[in-house]
Amino acid sequence: MASSASENRLLLSKIATNEKHGENSPYFDGWNKYNQNPFHLTENPEGVIQMGLAENQLSFDLVEEWIRKNPKASICTAEGIEKFRNVANFQDYHGLPEFRQAIATFMSKARGGRVTFDPHRVVMSGGATGANELVMFCLADRGDAFLIPSPYYPAFYRDLGWRTGVQIVPVDCDSSNNFKITKEALEAAYEKAQNNNINVKGLIITNPSNPLGTTLDKDTLESLVTFINQKNIHLVCDEIYAATVFSSPKFTCITEVIQNMNCNPNLIHIVYSLSKDMGFPGLRVGIVYSYNDDVVNIGRKMSSFGLVSSQTQHMLASMLSDEDFVEKFLTTSAKRLAKRHGVFTDGLEEVGINCLKSNAGLFCWMDLRRLLKDQTFDGEMVLWRVIVNEVKLNVSPGSSFKCVEPGWFRVCFANMDDDTVEVALKRIRAFVGQGKKAQEQAQVKSPKKRWQSNLRLSFSSSSRRFEQEGVSVMSPRMMSPHSPMPHSPLLRATT
């Protein structure tokens, strides 16, 4: 007898059958449109350009060169094979000592050497995804909550809350002060949680910020430290974009701040990763660094669920302890990010599109409020569908980051080559230009008509169809960074 689907559902856990992984949003257009029609400079120049993926692809040449020159770093080459069996056998959750040391040193260098890190506090995890979840498992029980300033990385919903049962309480930030976190916003969020009998265990910040691309200033950081100490709650600092800071102000990490303040160190925890700074998301290197000995101890035991492959540890231990290489990489990477950022933001400015002034990250926080027909999230969705379907750029709408103001979009710039950036800018110019032209025409005909509505009319009927659909605010491509990349050459399986 075939089992019924609903009977089977009962046999699975609530976690397996609820939607709290956040990947099932009714709206897949952006992702699917890209997958169905991916841009290629020569083979598919009319395809959708992927600008929803925060990857750092600008500096692989430096790494490849290093690998070529350092065959010993691989346990599989003739030069390195003598290490094979010991490394392959090594599953100690403390990690290879040289790996931990290299990570601590690298973290320090990524912060300009202004602070140092103790290798004994380095705990491995399955990427930053695993690190964030691990920290929650250590600090909070089911039903507890963490405050998170919005806009925030959408997958936090899954990483922090799916299996842990921890709730997210957003701390609203808006453009009135460039999305800075204010004491008032923190207090308001905290009080709201208290009034709803929600037990707040901590605050989690991303610094540099995703999606804003900005670093937190020292004053803000100090006020956050004061806040969490007053409330006796934890502060988790996700610093995975630390080395993507490409212009001033320089990055101020939490370690620097607490060194000069009266702060209970047991409340301070850092999440780190090599996925963004080095461009290594596939290698799954996540780090939890805590100033709380108990968290280090327990976190280490939990790391069994997501250790870094010893093969990868071995290679990276060698790579990241090569001081010359690290110096060269960090400097060059920052330069290239700065340049790419400049090309992109200049290109946008030319057509009157502004971005939040940023100095870090792999993306810009683009202000398209004036292009909205309605200053609502519905309006934002309408514009988004136009951008995906007509302009053929997959960008990420601010609502998916829980931004409280409609009209902001995150657009990534470091996951493509220069030529593709040019094409993207050309399309944006054309799109905005068309809008302006339509506006001028409308003003000639009927000066009172808003140009935005004519902008809408200038596109195909398909865009109108989408306006009637329900609003969903998740871009699944962003929600599930581990979704298929059907155009990776690695997916053309050979048997």
Partner 1 sequence: MRMLSRNATFNSHGQDSSYFLGWQEYEKNPYHEVHNTNGIIQMGLAENQLCFDLLESWLAKNPEAAAFKKNGESIFAELALFQDYHGLPAFKKAMVDFMAEIRGNKVTFDPNHLVLTAGATSANETFIFCLADPGEAFLIPTPYYPGFDRDLKWRTGVEIVPIHCTNSNGFQITETALEEAYQEAEKCNLRVKGVLVTNPSNPLGTTMTRNELYLLLSFVEDKGIHLISDEIYSGTAFSSPSFISVMEVLKDRNCDENFEVWQRVHVVYSLSKDLGLPGFRVGAIYSNDDMVVAAATKMSSFGLVSSQTQHLLSAMLSDKKLTKNYIAENHKRLKQRQKNLVSGLQKAGISCLNGNAGLFCWVDMRHLLRSNTFEAEMELWKKIVYEVHLNISPGSSCHCTEPGWFRVCFANLPERTLDLAMQRLKAFVGEYYNVPEVNGRSQSSHLSHSRGQSLTKWVSRLSFDDRCPIHGR
Which region, judged by CB under 8 A, interacts with partner 1, from 80-88, 114-122, 329-337, 381-389? 80-88
Interface with partner 1, residue 493, by CB under 8 A: yes
Nearest distance from residue 474's CB to partner 1, in Å?
14
Output Rg (C-alpha) for the chain, integer angstroms: 23
Which region, judged by CB under 8 A, interacts with partner 1, from 85-93, 237-245, 421-429, 458-466? 85-93
Which region, judged by CB under 8 A, interacts with partner 1, from 89-97, 172-180, 403-411, 466-474? 89-97
Q: Which of 54, 139, 236, 424 binds partner 1 (CB under 8 A)?
A: 139
Q: Which of 49, 140, 235, 355 binds partner 1 (CB under 8 A)?
A: 140
CB-wise, 30 or 80, nearer to partner 1? 80
Interface with partner 1, residue 283, by CB under 8 A: yes
Interface with partner 1, residue 158, by CB under 8 A: yes
Structural contact between residues 167 and 148, judged by C-beta atoms closer than 8 angstroms = no
- Indicate which residue of 29, 144, 238, 277 is catalytic: 238
State how far the Cα of 190 lies from the Cα of 147, in Å rounded to an integer: 7
Decide if 153 is catalytic: yes
x/- map, 164-203, partner 1, by CB under 8 A:
-----------------------------------x----
Instruction: Compute CA distances 165 → 70, 125, 140, 363, whole Å.
Output: 45, 19, 9, 30
Interface with partner 1, residue 284, by CB under 8 A: yes
Interface with partner 1, residue 402, by CB under 8 A: no
Residues in CB range of 449: below 8 A, 6 or more apart = 442, 443
- Indicate which residue of 233, 240, 353, 428 is catalytic: 240
Secondary structure of the chain as H, E, C letters: CCCCHHHHHHHCCHHHHCCCCCCCCCCCHHHHHHHHCECECCCECCCEEECCCCCCCCCHHHHHHHHHHCHHHCCCCCCCHHHHHHHHHCCCCCCCHHHHHHHHHHHHHCCCCCCCCCHHHEEEEEHHHHHHHHHHHHHCCCCCEEEEECCCCCCHHHHHHCCCCCEEEEECCCHHHCCCCCHHHHHHHHHHHHHCCCCEEEEEEECCCCCCCCCCCHHHHHHHHHHHHHHCCEEEEECCCHHHCCCCCCCCCHHHHHHCCCCCHHHEEEEEECCCCCCCHHHCEEEEEECCHHHHHHHHHHHHHCCCCHHHHHHHHHHHCCHHHHHHHHHHHHHHHHHHHHHHHHHHHHCCCEECCCCCCCEEEEECHHHCCCCCHHHHHHHHHHHHHHHCEECEEHHHHCCCCCCEEEEECCCCCHHHHHHHHHHHHHHHHHHHHHHHHHHHHCCCCCHHHHHHHCCCHHHHHHHCCCCCCCCHHHHCCCCCCCCCHHHCCCC
- Indicate which residue of 153, 190, 289, 291 is catalytic: 153
Q: Which of 275, 359, 389, 420 binds partner 1 (CB under 8 A)?
A: 275
x/- map, 198-227, partner 1, by CB under 8 A:
-x----------------------------
Site for partner 1 in 440-469 (CB under 8 A): none
State how far the Cα of 307 lies from the Cα of 309, in Å rounded to an integer: 6
CB-wise, 444 or 491, nearer to partner 1? 491
Site for partner 1 in 54-73 (CB under 8 A): 55, 57, 60, 63-64, 67, 71
Site for partner 1 in 307-346 (CB under 8 A): 307-312, 315
Nearest distance from residue 242's CB to partner 1, in Å?
18
Decide if 109 is catalytic: no
CB-wise, 215 or 310, nearer to partner 1? 310
- Indicate which residue of 201, 231, 276, 392 is catalytic: 276
Q: Which of 33, 234, 385, 402 binds partner 1 (CB under 8 A)?
A: 234
Q: Which of 52, 213, 306, 361 binds partner 1 (CB under 8 A)?
A: 306
x/- map, 248-267, partner 1, by CB under 8 A:
------------------x-
CB-wise, 210 or 252, nearer to partner 1? 210
CB-wise, 125 or 359, nearer to partner 1? 125
Q: Which of 62, 169, 298, 404 binds partner 1 (CB under 8 A)?
A: 298
Q: Which of 30, 119, 208, 279 binds partner 1 (CB under 8 A)?
A: 279
Decide if 240 is catalytic: yes
CB-wise, 234 or 369, nearer to partner 1? 234
Interface with partner 1, residue 476, by CB under 8 A: no
Decide if 387 is catalytic: no
Token pair 């395809």: residue: 47
Candidates 56, 495, 105; CA nearest to 322 is 105
By annotation, the residues acting in catalysis are: 153, 238, 240, 276
